[in-house]
Structures are given as structure tokens and as C-alpha cells.
Amino acid sequence: MDAYSPAVPHALTVLTTTDTAAKAEALARGAVEARLAACAQISAPVTSVYRWRNAVETAQEWQIVFKTGQRRYPELEAYLLAAHDYETPEIIATPLVLGSAAYLEWIEAETSGR
């Protein structure tokens, strides 16, 4: 299957952040165990600067990037909202426009339970 083929499964990367490495690993592991994501990558701490409740805040956070099938996004979002301890967690999905056909098929297989 060609990476340019419309038959390539629809895949997403979904980004969230949390305030500790342990929480990041728990969110990642829970999503992968539930087959809501094929994998999740946790990045070293980043510095986030944001406006929250009329104040500019700075915090150290860990980013988690999930790879999932587009059809699993609603369940992954629901999981993150339920499991996350932030009042308004960052949950951003970006479609994968191109990629290795074999990798995209792997994401689809892992998130469909095949």
C-alpha cells in the first residue's frame, strides 16, 4: 500500500500535557492498554507559559503524544478527560497526512484489536 493512497488508515497524533512524569506514564500506559492508542511518547519536561484565570502562569510539564486511529479519538478524549487531573487539560488532535503505510496500518491494527 502506498503512503499516498486514500486507502491508508486515518491516523492522528493526540497531544496532552501533565505536571509529573509519573502522571504522564500512567496516562500513556492506560491509553495503550485500553487500545485507545497504539503507542504514546513522553517528552522530557517542557516549560509552558499560559494564561489561566486572568494570570500568566509558568509551569514545568511533560508532553504525551499518542498515536491513534481517527475512529478511536472520541474514546481517547473521554479517557483523557476522565483520567486527567487538570480542570481543563490540553487535548489536541492532528491528522497524519502522510506516513509509512506499514506504520499507519500498525496504528490501525493496534487500536482496533485485530
For residue 10, the model assigns a pLDDT of 87
pLDDT at 114 over 60: no
pLDDT digits (tens, 9 = 90+) for 35-76: 999 999 999 999 999 999 999 999 999 999 999 999 999 999
Q: What is the CA radius of gyration of the chain?
A: 15
Contact 3, 101 (CB under 8 A): yes
- C-alpha to C-alpha distance for 104 and 110, rounded to whole angstroms: 10
For residue 1, the model assigns a pLDDT of 47
Question: Which of these, 112, 109, 11, lies nearest to 65 by C-alpha position?
Answer: 11
pTM of the model: 0.90
pLDDT at 2 over 70: no
pLDDT digits (tens, 9 = 90+) for 74-112: 999 999 999 999 999 999 999 998 888 899 999 999 998
Cell numbers at residue 13, please? 497524533
- C-alpha to C-alpha distance for 110 and 32, rounded to whole angstroms: 9
